[in-house]
Structure 1
Amino acid sequence: MNGAIIGYGTIATGHAIGYRQTEGIDVTTVVDPTPARAEAAQRAGLRAYATYAEMIDYEAPDFIDICTPPNSHADYIELGLRDGLHVLCEKPVLMPHEGRYDRLLDQIAASDKVFYPCHNYKFAPILTEMERVVRSPGFGDVLSARFRTLRQGHAVGVPEWNPHWRRDPVIAGGGILRDHGPHSVYLATHLTGRTPLAVSCLTGAMRHDGHTGTEDTAKLIIRCDDDVQIELDVTWSAGYRNSYYSIIGSGGWVTVENDDVQYSLNGQPHRAALRSNFDDPRHPDWFAAMFADFLTTTRHPEQAAPLLAESLTTSLVIDGAYASAADDGRWVELTPARDLLMGVAR
């Protein structure tokens, strides 16, 4: 299976490496309007086009992989589905527009191709180890979870094109809550298996770095079914980098902090060190595992429906969090994704 990457920035270079490591799938083509990025793609052995229209005139990809900033995701998703292609998309996968998500969901429902979210943190080896512990019989029912992501600033993009686009609300659709928030939300719902019912959120700009149009810090509390509570903290204003994940069960617990894993099952404590690669934005090994899963999903398209629900749930939580933050952290009830996807399941 062969594809085209749309947008050749830092994340896309990681995707390209991941494809080279994955049997049965590859990319040979890039779409990027910035001449310097097109040249970078060509140096990497990829054919480059300035526009999607030009690319589709000369190439016949099986899929597109959207690695552009958020404000263009919907347009490229529509183009890919229109042309009968499988579509992968970087986070935030679904962005609210006029009519909210209805138009895009209808297009996904009408397509016989796979729409796949690039939720790459699910494929980090250290977090798959966390998942193994949580799924173990001795862990019991999930009771609560807390994730904390500390960064010393926003990720800076390529110098050839608006390196600080993550702090531009028009391009990014928000600040850290829209940028890194999705990782925390989809990972929390994936690992706990819980359905978000309501969210309370506070945001702020604490770094005082001149980027005042978006928030750099957010704290979310998510109420889920069975009275499970998930707490998420994300910030670009920290003095050091730290990635922390903790889940407590009725029979055990597990924490991941950077490269350290600790857990207890059946009353027995365990500790291990695993290289997390949390600090490498390209995550090539994560992407290789994710692309193998995408390839499997194209062969078993019924597996795409839960992924669409996961993408929509993530976006609905982020939307609710922004609504809550705008009203001093009030609780915002969330519409379950399944209610919006009644007509989408294939």
Structure 2
Amino acid sequence: MNGAIIGYGTIAAGHVIGYRQTEGIDVTAVVDPTPARAQAARSTGLRAYATYEEMVDNENPDFIDICTPPNSHACYIELGLRDGLHVLCEKPVLMPYEGRYDRLLGQIAASNKVFYPCHNYKFAPILATMQQVVRSPGFGDVLSARFRTLRQGHAVGVADWNPHWRRDPLIAGGGILRDHGPHSVYLATHLTGRTPLAVSCLSGAMRHDGHTGTEDTAMLMIRCDDDVQIELDVTWSAGYRNSYYSITGTGGTVAVENDDVRYSLDGRLHRTTLPSNFDDPQHSDWFAAMFTDFLTKTRHPEQAAPLLADSLTTSLVIDGAYASAADNGRWVELTPAQDLLIGAAR
């Protein structure tokens, strides 16, 4: 199976490495309007085109992999589905169009192709270890979760385009809530198995770095089914990098901090160290595992349905967080993703 990457930045370069480590799937072409980025793609053996239309006129891909900034995701998703292609998309996967998702959800529902979110943190080996602990019989029922993502600034894009696009609300659709927020949300629901029901959020700009159009810090509280509460903190204003994830159950606890894993099961404490690769922006080994999963989903498309609900839930939580932050942290009830998906399928 061959595909084309849309947008050749840092993440896309990591995707290429991941594809080349994955048997049965590869990318052969890139779409990028920036001459320098097109040349960078050609230097790795990829054919480069300035537009999507030019690419499909010359290539016959089975899928597209969207690695562009958020404001163009919907456009490329629609084009890929229109042309009968499987579609992968980097986060934030779904962005509201005029505050709604029905148009894009309807197009996805009408397609017989796989729509796949690039939720790559699910494939980090250290977090897979965390999931194994949570699913152990002795861990019991999940009671709460706490995730913190500390960064010393926003990730800077390639110099050949707009290196600070993550701080431009017209391109990014927000600040850190749209950037790191989705990773925290989908990972929390994935690891805990809980469904968000309401969210409260406080956000602001604390770094004073001249990028005042978007938030660089956010604190979220998410109420889930079975009275489980999830706390998420994300910031670009920290003085050091740190990635921390902890989950508490009725019979155990587990915490991951950078490369350290600590957990308690059956009254015994355990500690181990694993390379997390949290600080590697290309995550090529994570992507290789993710693309293997994508390939499986194309062969068993019935397995892909939960992924769309996961993507939509993630976006609805972020939308609710923005609404809450705009109203001093009030609790915002969340529309169940399944309700929107049922409506889109009619």
Q: After TM superposition, is the score higher than 0.5?
A: yes
TM-score range (shorter-chain normalised) is over 0.9
The residue type equivalent to 1:340 in the other structure is L
Instruction: Give the drift of 1:339.
Output: 1.0
1:303: how far off? 1.1
Render the CA deviation track for 1:263-294: whole Å, top value 9, x for unaligned: 01111111000000000000000000000000
What is residue 130 of structure 2 aligned with on the other side?
A: 130
**Structure 1 runs of 4+ off > 6 angstroms?**
none
Distance 2:343 2:313 in 1: 16
> For residues 174 and 344 of structure 2, what CA distance do their matches in structure 1 show?
27
**Cα RMSD after superposing both structures:** 0.9
Quick check: 1:10 aligned with 2:22? Answer: no
1:195-231 Cα offsets, whole Å, 9 max, x none, are 0000000001000000000000000000000100000
Indicate conservation of the 8 Å contact 2:123/2:289, yes or no.
yes
Contact 1:305–1:345 (CA<8 Å) still a contact in 2? no
1:92 aligns with 2:84: no
Q: Is the 8 A contact 2:102 2:344 kept in 1?
A: no
For 1:341, the equivalent position in structure 2 comes to: 341
Q: Tell me the distance in 2 between the aligned counterparts of 1:94 and 1:210.
A: 28
Query: Any conservation in 1 of the 2:31–2:50 contact (CA below 8 Å)?
Result: yes
C-alpha separation in 2, matches of 1:140 and 1:337: 27
Deviation by residue 1:290-320 (Cα, 9 ceiling, x = unmatched) = 0000000001101111000000000000000
Q: CA deviation at 1:98?
A: 2.2
2: CA distance, partners of 1:268 / 1:62: 49
Q: How does 1:256-295 map to 2 (within 5 A)?
A: 256-295=256-295
Partners of 1:266 and 1:98 in 2: CA distance: 50
User: Mind listing any 5+ residue stretches in structure 2 that lack a counterpart?
Assistant: none
1:84-109, CA deviations, whole angstroms, 9 ceiling, x for partnerless residues?
Answer: 00000000000011261000000000
1:158 maps to 158
TM-score if structure 2 supplies the norm length?
A: 0.99
Corresponding residue SS for 1:342: helix
Q: Deviations over 1:10-42 (max 9, x none)?
A: 000000000000000000100000000000000
Aligned-partner residue type, residue 162 of structure 2: N
Q: How does 1:241-320 map to 2 (within 5 A)?
A: 241-320=241-320
CA 1:172–1:81: 2 relative to 1, 3 Å: same
The equivalent of 2:50 in structure 1 is 50
From the superposition, tell whether residues 286 and 36 of structure 1 become closer, same or farther in structure 2 (CA, over 3 Å).
same
CA distance in 1, matches of 2:321, 2:182: 11
Contact 1:199 1:222 in 2 (8 A): yes
Counterpart residue number, 2:106: 106
The one-letter code matched in structure 2 to 1:242 is N
Equivalent residue number for residue 180 of structure 1: 180
Distance (Å, rounded) in 2 between the aligned partners of 1:175 and 1:215 = 5
Contact 1:6-1:67 at 8 Å conserved across structures: yes
5+ residue gaps, structure 1:
none
The answer to whether the 8 Å contact 1:246/1:253 transfers is yes
Size of the alignment, in residue pairs?
A: 346
Instruction: String of CA shifts for 1:56-95, please: whole Å, max 9, x gaps.
Output: 0000000000000000000000000000000000000000
Hey, what does 1:211 align to over in structure 2? 211
Contact 1:91 1:182 in 2 (8 A): yes
CA contact 2:106–2:345 (8 Å) conserved in 1: no
Counterpart of 2:76? 76
Between 1:29-38 and 1:265-274, the stretch displaced more is 265-274
Contact 1:7 1:67 in 2 (8 A): yes
Structure-2 separation of matches of 1:12 and 1:43: 14
- The DSSP-based 3-state class of the residue aligned with 2:37 is helix
Take 1:56 and 1:173, find their aligned partners in 2: how far apart are those partners? 28
The answer on whether the counterparts of 1:109 and 1:343 sit within 8 Å (CA) in structure 2 is: no
* Amino acid in structure 1 at the alignment position of 2:280: D
The one-letter code matched in structure 1 to 2:82 is R
The AA in structure 2 aligned to 1:241 is R
Residues 157-195 of structure 1: CA deviation (Å, up to 9, x unaligned) = 000000000000000000000000000000000000000
CA contact (8 A) 2:110 2:345 kept: no
Identify the residue that residue 220 of structure 1 maps to in structure 2: 220
Q: Secondary structure at the match of 1:8?
A: coil
Q: What is the aligned partner in structure 1 of residue 171 from structure 2?
A: 171
Query: Which residue of 1 is the match for residue 192 of structure 2?
Result: 192
How far did residue 252 of structure 1 move?
Answer: 0.5
Q: 2:175 is aligned with what amino acid?
A: G
